[in-house]
Structure 1
């Protein structure tokens, strides 16, 4: 099986700020990712997820109609979406606020502002999750 590359990813970016969206879009483009759908809130994200079935959701913490935690709970509550990789980009630093994201198995929590290396590692983690690897059991 061919290995997935960052350029193969289809990403849904949930970010109400145009300026922040542009920053994240630029960083994703530096990784070769150009298939990005942009939405600004939770309801729009849920509708788009049903339509496009992204490989990864990248989300800020707050939107006008909810939070990333609300969105993540909705996603994890749907059997067909429960394994959808989710990445949080946030300036939130309080441990108790981030703990539920960690418990929900998010692929990464990136601080605002994040470095390019942080994003690269998070994208590689996503690719690892999405790539099924053949196991060599000859020596087992």
Structure 2
């Protein structure tokens, strides 16, 4: 816990958001549903830059510019949960970046998206979740995606 007084304890939650919108919705719903989320949970959002994102101009290489990160932040704020975006140092190396951020901020929980649709996404996302779980002693929650109104997304 981030605070030593249990009556006012703040729980830090790291939410590494991928490019998958359904996964991001699932993460936002999970975090917003945590007990006392609006008053006792400090949410840290991130996105590990990869692929074409690394080729963007220096100003464009920031998690704050990723659509799914903005969506999760705005969704949480609408539900009364404050969230801030933190930048990962290990770009293109998601497992190391997530574990390093979790350690740096002494988080109490890591919330990863899971259950992607599509074989390649399943392999990549599943690999990240398993690898993070193996490399940290912090609790890791892997949440299911939430489909859009049009019926798209995982699940």
TM value normalised by structure 2: 0.42
